[in-house]
Amino acid sequence: MTYLRSEYLYGQAEGVHFFIRNKFSYALTLLFLASYETQWPTFFDDIFLLLKPPPESGAQPLNPHVSNFFFKLILEMSSEVADQILKNARQFSAERMARDGRIRDLVREKDAAKINTAVLAIVIESKQVLDQARAENAKEKVSTLEEVVDNGVRAFASYVPWIDINLTVTPDTITLLFSLLSDPALSIRLATCSSLRGIVSKGLKVASDKLKVIQVLSLTPVLQQLEAQTVATRSTLPEYSHDVETFREALARLTNVLGLELVSLCNDSMLPPDEVQTSGELLIELVPIALRFLADTYDDTSFSIFPLLTEILNSYKKMKQASPHTYMTAEKREFLVDTLTILVEKLKWDKDANPEDFDDEDMMFFENMRKDIRKTIDSIYTFDSELVTGTISEKALNTLSEYEAGSQLSWESAELAVYLVFMYGEIGGKEKGRGRTAFCVAPPNIPKEARKTVDYSNYPLTPQGEMMQALIRSRISAYPHPSVAMQFFETAARYADFFK
């Protein structure tokens, strides 16, 4: 404690030697773990004395060095006693597991409220001083205070999963967190999103309590507003594109977590019917925002929604099994249509991409992305096969017709049209028939010995046959881009029976 006072309260906190601060905070955390239960029960009280020194001490009331060290200490402690990823990475120890549980219980009982009060008080005061420093254009001070607020919010996020939610979800904390979502500093906004994800996903014994937390937070209008703001910023201030895309990804992840919790509530058989209905209504309100993030041009943002998308489709599958004739509603049908339209567009190459410059890892990423999207489309097919086949064939045929008529297509649109023809034949498996019967409506009773001599061109084409005919007729194989030609010949080889 003497070292802390001299170096952090009155000194320069080891100057630019951040690694010393990190090592010391970790060493102090280990000491805390070993002594808190029996030898040093006043650990936090002693730390709090540094945060608010008496006026006669001469120390500044809001000391960024002490504040950052305190936050770092909280982060380290939460990692040691509650971080499941860290626990899984270590060799299992029953003794360590029991000790961590006792420390969590002891902190909840004695110091959790004081820790939470101290963290939030520093964040609130620092944010007020930060706003003033920004108004005065005091850049160095702004940088220091942004770090304090950022670390404070991350410290808050670290203990949200394991202390009483009545401490972390209050009118004051909700107001604070929502205000920080609009802070100019990206790091603060990202830390706030992390805190809200922790609150939403926190495990609660009673499902009704989870619903109440979600209702109190009322995140959907906030997400809707921020999503629209980031789209506007993206188009008007391209110089901030990196910050915008990073923040949109964080918002998408928050939307995903909120949606997953609502789907879980909708599927909870122990929840009263009226609360299940309320959960469903909240999910319906959230879905349009989730779809906008799913349609984002940046893959990281779009893929953040895939877990929610998968769970929604899984819940539809359960509903179909329980009530096959009545499960499909107008809202579900609209969701499937919108989702499918977005997914088909996500199959397209980015307009700035150059496959010839891609290495094996990049190509594998893109191919795996297409596989994942196709799996989701296959799931939609199980609910409405005509919707999927109709959407894919319409998109492909319209594009091929435009090219045949002389329209100028971008290479990625041309490649997508060819890929959709390739993909069409694989959706639904055996339902479309095999061999030549996949491309024409031939009689089912043709003798086996006569099949090789029958002129199948006399029979009307199936939808897949019409797509192959449109592909050949469009002469898109001559498109001046190697990716289009490669996809064309891969499709022609895949469906060689069409030419027989």
Model confidence at 90, pLDDT cuts 50, 70, 90, reads confident
**pTM score of the predicted model:** 0.91
pLDDT value of position 178: 97
Is the confidence at residue 124, as pLDDT, over 90? yes
Lowest mean pLDDT among 70-84, 207-221, 231-245, 473-487: 231-245
pLDDT digits (tens, 9 = 90+) for 323-367: 888 888 888 999 999 999 999 999 999 888 888 788 888 889 889
More confident residue, 35 or 458: 35
CA–CA gap between residue 302 and residue 339 (Å, rounded): 12
Between residues 2 and 288, which one has the greater pLDDT? Answer: 288
Using N-to-C axis directions, what is the helix angle for 241-266 and 219-236, rounded to 10°? Answer: 160
Average pLDDT over residues 306-326: 92
pLDDT band for position 61 (cuts 50, 70, 90): low
Residue 181 — very low, low, confident or very high, per pLDDT cuts 50/70/90? very high
For 82-89, what is the mean pLDDT?
85
Highest mean pLDDT among 87-96, 400-409, 435-444: 400-409
pLDDT band at 122 (very low <50, low <70, confident <90, very high): very high
Q: What is the pLDDT of residue 15?
A: 61
CB distance 381 to 428 below 8 Å: yes
Q: pLDDT value at position 36?
A: 94
Comparing 33-37, 82-86, 153-157, 391-395, which segment has the lowest mean pLDDT?
82-86
Three-state secondary structure of the chain: CHHHHHHHHCCCCCCCCHHHHHHHHHHHHHHHHHHCCCCCCCHHHHHHHHHCCCHHHCCCCCCHHHHHHHHHHHHHHHHHHHCHHHHHHCCCCHHHHHHHHHHHHHHHHHCHHHHHHHHHHHHHHHHHHHHHHHHCCCHHHHHHHHHHHHHHHHHHHHHCCCCCHHHHCCHHHHHHHHHHCCCCCHHHHHHHHHHHHHHHHCCCCCHHHHHHHHHHHCHHHHHHHHHHHHHHHHHHCHHHHHHHHHHHHHHHHHHHHHHHHHHHHHCCCCCCHHHHHHHHHHHHHHHHHHHHHHCCCCHHHHHCCHHHHHHHHHHHHHHHHHCCCCCCCHHHHHHHHHHHHHHHHHCCCCCCCCHHHCCHHHHHHHHHHHHHHHHHHHHHHHHCHHHHHHHHHHHHHHHHHHHHCCCCCCHHHHHHHHHHHHHHCCCCHHHHCCHHHHCECCCCCCCHHHCCCCCHHHCCECHHHHHHHHHHHCCHHHCCCHHHHHHHHHHHHHCHHHHC
pLDDT mean over 243-261: 97
Span of 243-247, 295-299, 495-499 with lowest mean pLDDT: 495-499
Nearest-angstrom CA–CA distance, 251 and 219: 11
Q: Which amino acid is at 2?
A: T
Please determine, for residue 16, whether its predicted confidence score (pLDDT) is greater than 60.
no
pLDDT confidence band for 55 (50 / 70 / 90): low
Neighbours of 46 (CB within 10 A): 11
Which whole number is the average pLDDT over 146-150? 96
Q: Look at residue 433 in the predicted model and tell me its pLDDT.
A: 58
Q: Band of the pLDDT at 58, cuts 50, 70, 90?
A: low
Burial class (CB in 10 A: 0-12, 13-18, 19+), 237: exposed
- Least trusted range by pLDDT, from 85-94, 194-203, 302-311: 85-94
At 59, the pLDDT band (50, 70, 90 cuts) reads low
Place of tokens 């009673």: 206
Average pLDDT, the chain: 90
pLDDT digits (tens, 9 = 90+) for 360-390: 888 898 899 999 999 999 999 999 999 999 9
- pLDDT tens for each residue of 395-434: 999 999 999 999 999 999 999 999 999 999 888 765 555 6
